[in-house]
Structure 1
Amino acid sequence: MTGPGRRSSTFSRLLRHGFTDPSRAERLLDLPELAALRDDSVLLDALGATADPDLALHGLVRLVEAQPEDERQTLTTTLLSAKPFRDRLLGVLGSSEALADHLARHPRDWQALVTYEAADLHPGVAEFEQGLAEAVDPLSLRVAYRRCLLAIAARDVCGTTHVAQTAAELADLATATLRAALAIARTAAPADAAQCRLAVIAMGKCGGHELNYVSDVDVIFVAEVVEGADEGKAMQAATRLASHLMRICSETTVEGSIWPVDANLRPEGRNGPLVRTLSSHLAYYQRWAKTWEFQALLKARAVAGDPELGAEYIEAVSPLVWQAAERENFVPDVQKMRRRVVDNIPAAQIDRELKLGPGGLRDVEFAVQLLQLVHGRSDATLRSGSTLDALGALAAGGYVGRADAAQLDDAYRFLRAMEHRIQLYRLRRTHLVPEDETDLRRLGRSLGLRTDPVADLNKEWRRHASVVRRLHEKIFYRPLLDAVAQLAPGEIRLSPQAAGQRLEALGYADPAAALRHLEALTAGMSRKAAIQRTLLPVLLGWFADSADPDAGLLGFRKVSDALGKTPWYLRLLRDEGAAAENLARVLSAGRLAPDLLLRAPEAVAILGDPEGLKPRGRDHLEQEVLAAVGRADDAEQAVAAVRGVRRRELFRTAAADLIGSYGTEDNPREPDPGALVDRVGNAVTDLNAATIAGALRAAVRAGWGEELPTRFAVIGMGRFGGHELGYGSDADVLFVHQPREGVDEQEAARAANRVVEEMRRLLQLPTADPPLLIDADLRPEGKSGPLVRTLGSYEAYYRRWSLVWEAQALLRAEPMAGDPELGARFVELIDPLRYPMEGLGEDAVREIRKLKARMESERLPRGADPTLHAKLGRGGLSDVEWTVQLFQMQHGWELPGLRTTRTREALAHAHAAGLIPGDEAQILDEAWVLATRVRNAVMLVRGRPGDTFPSDGRELAAVGRYLGYGPGHVGEMVDDYRRITRRARAVVEELFYGA
């Protein structure tokens, strides 16, 4: 068929096969040279399968036109009859304009693509050396090199080899080329060759068997003098040979260049001699080399010249590579170098930079190399120059999560494939993603993206880049790395003897028991044991930086045993921020936090979440607690669920407190102790309020369904109302109710009393958790009075019978659970009582002072040191609180700032109002914060409340660490406490007693 009908049909077929200029393609297909191919549908299908059908067809026309007449028929016949050849040839022509140019200049080189045997699929250095064997000068070497490159590209674009195999083949071809170039240089200067032994060491991607199509080939030259030769002349001869080799490969001719040979990774860079002896290299590395030079040597591989000398060089420098991580600031230096590379990318290119930009190839390579250099000191399986091989070994050894490694591997292969195809087009050294639509379309199709090549390419590229950047940040800046790097080599993989010695040196009281824990944690060949072997050398040091290393290690073993089969646990410690260091600090700081964690081991996840240490607000907690109560089958189950929330949140608060007090690399020490005290007080208060709300809801549901016959509220008193609870504080409360409309008062009272009794019963059920005891002794008439009163009953009592101390106690009253409107009405009722109009009379002030003096003499425990009792002792909590409360009762009626339940807030307002001078307010605040922290520390360390410093030496040291005192400074801590509280007592004598 001819004429318009045929053309229209061909035009449509060309469009369907991916041609963007079908008119031009039609004209090319009509050329006489393609007469034998024109009507072959197989050829059109093969052209349509290429990255750029238009480019492939144009290249084919040029190739056919360039054939001698007697060979044109052979080419077309082979093209039509041999599918592997057809796919390879057209695949190359559709991907590489540069290789099409080569075929047009050397029309017989297409025959290099005909062979399709098993031996041809993955050639090595020997096969490439055969391909270059006939090259006797630089020009013929370039031609032979391109011929070999043609076969590599054909295997690549047809999918016969994957991206890592292609990169390895390119590196092997570079090796063969360096050998051929050195042979040509030696032939040209036999006298020079006779005077010296010269070895060529490949570095970078060539050394790592992961070369690009177009890349500098980084090398280092090492030489030795042949026996009998003059050393000076021999090194000059070696330099001439090395220089000639570089020119052969690097110079540009009509056949282009092979690739630049770059020797700038040598000692002293371009300012240093091109060739050095082995001893000169070693002297430099041992004395002057920078961190990045050892990182570069990781990929060093002898490739050409004297094989024995090359092997000697690698053997000599390898130990230096694996000692580099022990250098001071090694990890920060490598991290800084990576940031510097990114900072130096021009702003206009950073979003297109495939190699150096964020989320690019360098992010993968730097992360892998850093892990290799840190962990490869003790694990020889990591010592590979290939990025992907090393990544696989890191995953197998547990240094990187398998899922993370798989994602990095996938992304790296995709990005390298992009880089290969970009460079293959014109065989130019570039790492920039093109902007031209045609180039992007060809690139996308070359990667198998055919539906919408440009959009799909951008989507896939950005997805992989995002994965790389995220994992780079996670792995490359992993805090654990710097800690591991600072260990001596013998500390990384501990033999039993070395471990025992190190444990003793670190201050473990029972090295034998600690060693048993280590052996139990690291025994076997499981992945879990492998990760533990990575973690433990660092954890041992962190445990040792505490008052009780043995307890820390024991706690870690218990948590590990409890979570041993949980896949995320060890991964969290290895990968996530400062999780491992946080855990070490928490486990070795005392009994409370580890006990809480062992009853809820999954709470360890809190330590790896950047938001995990922030306390949850009361609304959030109450919502969670009430939802748990609503799901429970009965009241006991409901309170068990509530306790689970309380346990987890107590651990969160304790962990945040400990880490804020000790500090870690990611979480530096909280500079303001008062902020820590306030955070703990607010967090525990909100948690206990939510817990009581949950118990109240459970009690109501158990007896009355969804609604109690009377409105009911829980009023917080004392430290509870003041938001100043410690870990072991009781919750002082008052209960108030108000019958609902139409409900008999006696029935309402019975319901209110029953719900209180049920709440108390539920909260007192046996548990291993720190108890929450409800204390209602501050109610009217104390223990002799009814547990619950109506609002009217409270009003009548306070109007007729209230004593000064009761008004003072109401200064801390604040609604905590139950009916919020009823709670607000109670506050409205008591405000005139606690903030009396015109303040306190002299009699009331005298009464308060007498009560305080009697309490000091009667309530201090027998035998207690009054200078060290945090609550009732000299300058302690009671002294400061009574002083502040006196000012609140005297001036609260006129100063709204004093109408607060919080001690520190009221003290600050009293100072702001001029009631307490600045120095004295600061003295009182410092003493109150210190005494509160002592009580919190005792609970954290001992697991039970206490108001004085522990007598046990280790416990006292642990309290000291919490308060910021290092080993051996507990005496200073006690002296400081006495000094600070003595000053506070002097202020109290003046302000409270009027002395």
Structure 2
Amino acid sequence: MTGLGRRSSTFTRLLRYGFSDAAAAERLLGAPELAAVHSDPVLLDALGAAADPDLALGALVRLVEAQPQADRQALLGTLLASKPLRDRLLGVLGASEALGDHLVRHPGDWQALVTFEASDLHPGVADFERALAGRSEGLCPSDSLRASYRRCLLAIAARDVTGSIDVAQTAAELADLATATLRAALRIACDEHPEDAAACRLAVIGMGKCGGQELNYVSDVDVVFVAEAANGTEEAVALRSATRLASRMMRVCSDVTPEGTIWPVDANLRPEGRNGPLVRTLSSHLAYYQRWAKTWEFQALLKARPVAGDLDLGQAYVDAVSPLVWQAAERDNFVTDVQQMRHRVIASIPVTHVDRELKLGPGGLRDVEFAVQLLQLVHGRSDATLRGTSTLGALSALAAGGYVGRADAASLDSAYRFLRSLEHRIQLYRLRRTHLMPEAEADLRRLGRSLGHRTEPVAELGKEWKRHAREVRRLHEKLFYRPLLDAVAQLEPGETRLSPKAAGQRLEALGYADPAAALRHLEALASGVSRKAAIQRTLLPVLLGWFADSADPDAGLLNFHKVSDALGRTPWYLRLLRDEGAAAENLARVLSAGRLAPDLLLRAPEAVALLGDPGGLRPRGREALEQEVLAAVGRAESAEAAIVAARGVRRRELFRTAAADIIGAYGRTGNGAHATGEHGTGSRGHAETAGSDISARVDLVGNAVSELNAATLAGALRAAVRAEWGDTLPTRFAVIGMGRFGGHEQGYGSDADVLFVHEPREGVSDEEAAKAAFAVAGEMRRLLQLPTTDPPLLVDADLRPEGKSGPMVRSLASYGAYYRRWSLVWESQALLRAEPVAGDPDLGRRFIELVDPLRYPVEGLGEDAVREIRRLKARMESERLPRGADPTTHTKLGRGGLSDVEWTVQLLQMQHGWAEPGLRTTRTREALAAARAAGLVSTDDARILDEAWVLATSVRNAVMLVRGRAGDTFPADPRELGAVARYMGYEPGHVGDMLDDYRRTTRRARAVVEELFYGA
């Protein structure tokens, strides 16, 4: 056979064994070090079984080279003769570059893999302590410990990669090795400082994965230190001694030397974190936990376990804090803390790594761990079987107790084991702390092969990972709620289910204030064998989670029950929620955000369909709205029926706008950002994009509601005219929007400030025209004031000439005569917001031409007029603020509120509008932007005023959404105030930050107003 033929045959054989670089493998197999074994099929079979045959072969050659000449044949001979050694050694070399480097640096350590006895399969802490106790020649005690630690780690990895132990046993052995290492490091510290060792009793408490006996290959080891005085030593002296010992022990483990490092010891889970003392007495720990600790700190204590030092003292610590852990769910702030913990899980995901995160990403390890730990806190207070420290052990206990369905627990167990195995193999490669899936093809291939995928390792690995991640995410969302449905649905008597008490505990922990009522709603929705109940049992686990994420879960569930009752027989309703994920989430957000939107929806349940249409929440334009309203009015048989039809359109469109507003608010909460938004507040718990989002939503609501109200007035006008005159009124008639109506800045509960103007048609007497105009205006107001359960649209004409004392309607000529002779400066100021909204468009345009010279006077305002405006503003501040109202938080008349900003902008408009066309607008923000562009206001001052105006407007919108009625102050009720905070972009528990931010923003605005408006 030719050399080429032999080479091709070798290539094929090596490729078949799984080598990626057959040429390099052939060269390495031909190296002198492997001359005696290079063609042995036993060796090739073992290399081919490794995760990365190329890596294993290269490391084997280096290991043989590193052996003393006399020992090389012993290694190779034993390797060929002992299958256990062959599988262990080559398995490690093919999975871990770092352990291959360790073996080259310590060439005799391969012998740690020779023994294959039953007792070697599951070593405990004592076995690891003995293995760590031996001293390596030429090394100091701490370096000797590092070398011995790696030798033990090598043995654990060998058992892991060969399948001798599963992932849970691997994690437990790693925790036992960490325990033995901490004890050895503490002994080194005590040997170096015997006087400190004699002065104190020091216990090391394992926390986190070390305490839970589920450690990774590479991880910080979380600990807490507790100490007491010994041998009559004063407490302060003993604590200083204990602190020196603890600090030295930590350095032994974390220092980096030529022998590498072991792992960092992290004591930041101690009371007060890194700001607190490293070591405390037991009584000091207890005092902190009883008075200051937050729920997450009790969650951390779930895994507390004595691991080193004085184990009696350590056990006394665990015994003392354990009752506090199981009382955590009864704390007043438990719900808020739990919501914050959930948001922190989401917030901790780096955006750039979210698709590769095994730990923090959606469907990652943290999802499983958080869910299990929360259920332990909720139910472990009354069920001691749930008080285990490991995730898998606690999950098994939750399933055995009926707190989690057995099938769900099995799926979660399987997914968690896979994710932990994947995490272990990623870390094992270079012994680096990481939770990211690699991106290189070679790394993914090695991982896939290490987990048993040999045909298409990369594709198969990716498919399995995504499948498990989806399952974890699905189960994470339903884990809290599916057992609740099982408890009330009563479909499978053989299944263990939550007791009413346990179900109530879980609902309380999730924020439901009335768990008994919540269970009744669930029973009504999910019980029975109907198709409707079956779909509800599919929907509710996720919906309940969204309700729990709101400020008022009880209201969300109650409203969902009502909507489902109203639409339950409608075939498309449940199908929409089941098949359109966005529709179900949008509905949950809307139903739990306050009273206004649910009330609107319950009076028009078919509007649920808007929530499933991608464009369904986009407000409609005025032209389309007016066409629909006028068509509905035209079909009505009476004026009363016509206004009912117009109100129906208004109700639906108000819901559309409110839903878009609410869903937009939820779209920017829960990300945990603590950055400065447009408000410039930098508040804790405030969403990063809050400012820009709030501005956009304020503009959306203001424009949508104003145009909707204009269309409604157009419908009322048409109904009033048709009732008496048919299609033609004897006089032209127009409605002029004023105030926020004219400025396109209305909120959900705003009145419609208007002026009525008419002009007699040709051949109609002034008296007849005026009579008709008065009748139409009166009928419009009557129709709009008919009793209704919808949000009212109150028409307010008090800004007309002479106010309440003047005629309700004037002709255009009468307006002209009055304004020429009698107009006061406040009336000119009010006309800045005048804009036609309904009726004859030409008449409306001519009215605006009439009033333009008054609101934008040539050469601006004189000093007397400016003084009068300032006097009126000061009088309003002193007289109109409601008794007892807090001037720092009243959104309309308070410091830096809407009135302050609007009067400042309006003064600029009246002074400079004649010369600056950009100022001739009815909209406050547009006018302010124009003033900044013209140099009349500095960029900073304009930004401050705009922020304050947007913030105050948003608070008013929030109050209306939450309470269902208008208000200019923050609600006093804590739950309503919390709902306002959620709408404003604040995480649970940050209501105080919202109020602080509001006061800060408006205080700055008031300072600008003092300068620009009052000339201070």
Q: Same fold (TM over 0.5)?
A: yes
Farther off after superposition, 122-131 or 138-147 = 122-131
Distance in 1, matches of 2:457 and 2:560, equals: 60
Distance 1:146 1:458 in 2: 31
Q: Which residue number in structure 2 is paired with residue 23 of structure 1?
A: 23
Counterpart of 1:160 in 2: which secondary structure? coil
- 1:632-711 matches, cutoff 5 A: 666=592, 668-671=594-597, 676-679=602-605
- Aligned partner of 1:47: which letter? L
Cα distance, 1:125 vs. partner? Answer: 1.6
Q: Which residue of 1 aligns with 2:367?
A: 363
Q: Secondary structure at the match of 1:929?
A: coil
Out of 426, 437, 440, the position equivalent to 1:436 is 440
Instruction: Give the letter for the 1:94 counterpart.
Output: G
Shift of 1:551: 9.9
CA gap 1:172/1:590 in 2 versus in 1, 3 angstroms: closer
Instruction: Output aligned runs, 1:716-795, within 5 Å.
Output: none
Indicate the SS of the match to 1:200.
strand
How far does residue 20 in structure 1 lie from its aligned partner after superposition? 1.7
**Cα offset for 1:263?**
1.3
Mapped contact 2:198–2:231 kept (Cα < 8 A): no
The within-5 A match list for 1:220-299 is 220-299=224-303
How far apart are residue 376 of structure 1 and its match?
2.7
**Aligned partners of 1:583 and 1:607 also within 8 Å:** no
State the 1:41 CA deviation.
1.0
1:577 is paired with a residue whose SS is helix
In 2, are the aligned partners of 1:294 and 1:324 still within 8 Å (CA)? yes
Does the CA contact (< 8 Å) of 2:721 and 2:728 recur in 1?
no
Q: 2:498 aligns with which of 530, 534, 544?
A: 530
Give the match for residue 149 of structure 2: 145
What is the TM-score of this pair, normalised by structure 1?
0.57
Rg comparison, structure with higher value: 1
Distance of 1:561 and 1:257 partners within structure 2: 59
Q: CA deviation at 1:576?
A: 3.5
Secondary structure class of the residue paired with 2:226: strand
Aligned to 2:465: 461
Q: Secondary structure at the match of 1:354?
A: coil
C-alpha separation in 2, matches of 1:207 and 1:157:
24
Q: Are 1:169 and 2:173 an aligned pair?
A: yes
Query: How much does 1:584 deviate?
Result: 8.1
Q: Contact between 1:249 and 1:258, CA under 8 Å: does it hold in 2?
A: yes
Deviation at 1:296, TM superposition (A): 1.7
Residues 1:173 and 1:139: Cα distance change in structure 2 (over 3 Å): same
CA distance in 1 between partners of 2:155 and 2:509 (Å): 55
1:282 Cα offset (Å): 1.2
Distance 2:539 2:608 in 1: 29
Give the superposition deviation at 1:360. 2.9
Counterpart of 2:65, as a letter, is E
Query: Structure 1: how far apart are the matches of 2:453 and 2:757?
Result: 70
SS in 1 for 2:213: coil
Name the SS of the counterpart of 2:498 in structure 1: helix
Looking at structure 2, the residues matched to 42 and 375 of structure 1 have their Cα atoms a distance apart, in angstroms, of: 55
Q: Is the 8 A contact 2:227 2:239 kept in 1?
A: yes
1:765-810 alpha-carbon deviations (Å, 9 max, x no partner): xxxxxxxxxxxxxxxxxxxxxxxxxxxxxxxxxxxxxxxx999999
Matching residue of 2:449: 445
Contact 1:64 1:72 in 2 (8 A): yes
Letter aligned with residue 412 of structure 2 = L
**Unaligned stretches of 5+ in structure 1?**
485-517, 616-655, 684-720, 724-804, 815-880, 896-906, 934-961, 965-995
Aligned: 1:204 with 2:208: yes
Instruction: Identify if the C-alpha distance between structure 1 residues 186 and 557 changes in structure 2 by more than 3 Å, giving closer, same or farther.
Output: same
2:477/2:542 contact within 8 Å kept: no
Task: For 1:207, give the aligned amino acid.
Answer: G
Instruction: Decide whether aligned partners of structure 1 residues 587 and 474 sit closer, same or farther in structure 2, where only a CA change above 3 A counts.
Output: closer
**1:77 is aligned to 2:45:** no
Q: Distance in 2 between matches of 1:201 and 1:435?
A: 37
Structure 2 residue matching 1:930: 3-state secondary structure? coil
Q: Closer, same or farther in 2 for the Cα pair 1:314/1:43, shift >3 Å?
A: same
Aligned to 1:117: 117
| Residue 284 (structure 2) pairs with residue 317 (structure 1) | no
| TM-aligned CA deviation for residue 64 of structure 1 | 1.9
* Kept after mapping to 1: 8 A contact 2:208/2:304: yes
- The alignment partner of 2:270 has SS state of coil
User: How many Å separate the matches in 2 of 1:682 and 1:182?
Assistant: 64
Deviation at 1:908, TM superposition (A): 15
Q: Structure 2 regions of 5+ residues with no counterpart? A: 610-630, 646-714, 730-751, 759-772, 793-962, 966-1016
- Aligned residue type for 2:596: E
Deviation at 1:208, TM superposition (A): 1.3
Q: Match for residue 803 of structure 2?
A: none
Q: Tell me the TM-score normalised to structure 2 length.
A: 0.56
Cα separation, partners in 2 of 1:29 and 1:883, compared to 1, 3 Å: closer
Query: Following TM superposition, by how much is the alpha carbon of 1:537 offset from its aligned partner in structure 2, in angstroms?
Result: 5.5
Instruction: Report matched runs for 1:829-840 at 5 Å.
Output: none
Distance in 2 (CA, whole Å) between partners of 1:543 and 1:182 is: 44
Which residue does the alignment assign to 1:46?
A: 46
- Kindly indicate whether the alpha-carbon contact (under 8 Å) linking 2:721 and 2:727 is maintained by their aligned counterparts in 1: no
Aligned counterparts of 2:235 and 2:219: Cα–Cα separation in 1: 34
Q: 1:56 is matched with which residue?
A: 56
Q: Percent identity?
A: 59
How far apart are the structure 2 equivalents of 1:922 and 1:679?
28
Structure 2 distance, partners of 1:542, 1:331, is 6
In 2: Cα distance, 1:83 partner to 1:333 partner? 54
What do the CA deviations read for 1:82-123 (whole angstroms, capped 9, x no partner)?
A: 222211110000011111112122222212212223322222
Q: CA RMSD for the aligned pairs?
A: 5.2
1:271 Cα shift?
2.5
1:889-968 matched pairs, under 5 angstroms: 889-894=723-728, 921=780, 924-925=783-784, 927-930=786-789
| CA separation of 1:362 and 1:673: change in aligned 2, threshold 3 A | closer
Q: Distance in 2 between matches of 1:412 and 1:256?
A: 31
Aligned twin of 1:218: 222
Aligned pair 1:11/2:15, yes or no? no
SS in 2 for 1:201: strand
C-alpha distance in 1, partners of 2:168/2:511? 43
Matched AA of 1:411: A
Decide which moves more: 51-60 or 536-545: 536-545
For 2:416, the equivalent position in structure 1 comes to 412
Letter in 1 for 2:10: T
Q: Against the structure 1 CA distance between its residues 430 and 605, is the aligned structure 2 distance closer, same or farther, given a 3 Å change threshold? A: same
Q: Secondary structure at the match of 2:788?
A: helix
Question: Structure 1 pair 75/422, CA: closer, same or farther in 2 (3 Å)?
Answer: same
Aligned-partner residue type, residue 121 of structure 1: L
Is 1:577 the counterpart of 2:521? The answer is no
Which whole-Å CA distance do the structure 2 matches of 1:932 and 1:919 have between them? 20
Q: Which amino acid aligns with 1:234?
A: A
What letter corresponds to residue 677 of structure 1 in structure 2?
Answer: R
Residue deviations 1:852-871 (CA, integer Å, cap 9, x gap)? xxxxxxxxxxxxxxxxxxxx
Name the CA distance, whole Å, in 2 between partners of 1:543 and 1:37.
68
Q: Deviations over 1:665-694 (max 9, x none)?
A: x353235856643447999xxxxxxxxxxx
Shift of 1:593: 9.5
Native 8 Å contact 1:523 1:529 kept in 2: no
Correspondence for 1:192:
196
> What is residue 652 of structure 1 aligned with on the other side?
none
Describe the shift of the 1:69–1:371 C-alpha distance in structure 2 as closer, same or farther (beyond 3 A): same
**1:238 shift after superposition:** 1.3
Q: Aligned to 2:544, what secondary structure does the other structure show?
A: coil
Render the CA deviation track for 1:427-452: whole Å, top value 9, x for unaligned. 12222322333222222222222233
What is the SS of the residue equivalent to 2:36?
Answer: coil
Q: Deviations over 1:497-530 (max 9, x none)?
A: xxxxxxxxxxxxxxxxxxxxx9999999964542
From the superposition, tell whether residues 435 and 308 of structure 1 become closer, same or farther in structure 2 (CA, over 3 Å).
Answer: same
- The one-letter code of the counterpart of 1:412 is Y
Deviation at 1:53, TM superposition (A): 0.6
